[in-house]
Amino acid sequence: MARDENTAVGLRSFQVVRPLPEGLMAEQVVSQVREMIRQGSLKPGNRLPPERELAKRLGISRASLRHGLQSLAAIGVLTSRHGSGTYIAEGPPALDSEPLQMLAHLHRFTPDEMFEARKLLEVGVASLAALHAQPEDLATMAEEISEMYATLDDPRQYLVHDIRFHRAVGAASRNPILAALVNMVSTAMYERRRATVERATDLKESVEFHRRIYRLIRAGKADVAGAAMSEHLELAQKAFASEETSKSSQSARRVKASASKVRRKS
């Protein structure tokens, strides 16, 4: 069901913030918004009241409110639209989502770990998508495949559409938990692979596989779609390993060349 992203939340939905011993004003704002989301009074796409009015309703300074809203934006709960206002976030995190980037760096996710997670997750998701995909899901997949063909000469832009295709498959599963997990894993994968994708040599083969998966999902062939996704991810893992090896070799050659220059000068 499509959500009305312009639905504004009335001021009466919010309660006056009262300072508590265990928290600052801004933290109480974060706690209240979280509780409203849990209760369902704030939904994806809802627009918050204007900052001045909301601060007055909560009984706090605009600076305290702004600090609380910035904390919520940092974890992906809120988004700001210039000239429009502040909204409860819809859809998956952006590809450059800071919280997910930080998590990937903190835990040092390895490529093998990421692909292992993808295989366990996305094979089943592709099968579910074949059973539950709606026309709008198929249209999104088809659009991303067209964009992949159009960007074969631009690997970084190709990667964006590649990730979006996988997210569309996740959404087509009609399981919001699985879709959210696909979004998280794809963001971590994007962050890692965009450093190597310029050396990719398999993009034509990759887009053909995406088209094959799309056609199987469209045909409702759940088992075969899952098998195709498994094969695709196996090849993608090998391609990424090759890109990483190429990157290491180039770095080694640069170090060797620099050392040679230093020796010649001395």
Of residues 33, 46, 37, 36, the one with CA closest to residue 3: 46
163-197 confidence digits (pLDDT tens) = 999 999 999 999 989 998 998 888 888 888 888 99
54-113 confidence digits (pLDDT tens) = 989 888 889 989 999 988 887 778 888 888 899 998 876 666 566 666 777 777 888 899
% of the chain at pLDDT higher than 70: 82
Domains detected in the chain: 11-88 (1.10.10.10), 98-260 (1.20.120.530)
Of residues 163, 156, 230, the one with CA closest to residue 197: 156
Tokens 């702004």: give the residue. 66
pLDDT at 188: 83
Of 98-107, 213-222, 233-242, 249-258, give the lowest mean pLDDT range: 249-258
pLDDT at 264: 63
Separation between Cα atoms, residue 51 and residue 31, nearest integer Å: 17
Residue 152, pLDDT > 90, answer yes
Which sign, positive or negative, has the C-alpha torsion 21, 22, 28, 31?
negative
pLDDT at 223: 98
pLDDT at 3: 45
Separation between Cα atoms, residue 206 and residue 155, nearest integer Å: 12
Q: Which residue has the higher pLDDT, 74 or 1?
A: 74
Residue 248, pLDDT > 60, answer no
CB count, 10 Å around CB of 111? 16
30-42 confidence digits (pLDDT tens) = 888 888 888 888 8
Of 25-29, 215-219, 220-224, give the lowest mean pLDDT range: 25-29
Contact residues for 127 (Cβ-Cβ < 8 A; gap 6+): 222, 223, 225, 226
CB count, 10 Å around CB of 217? 30
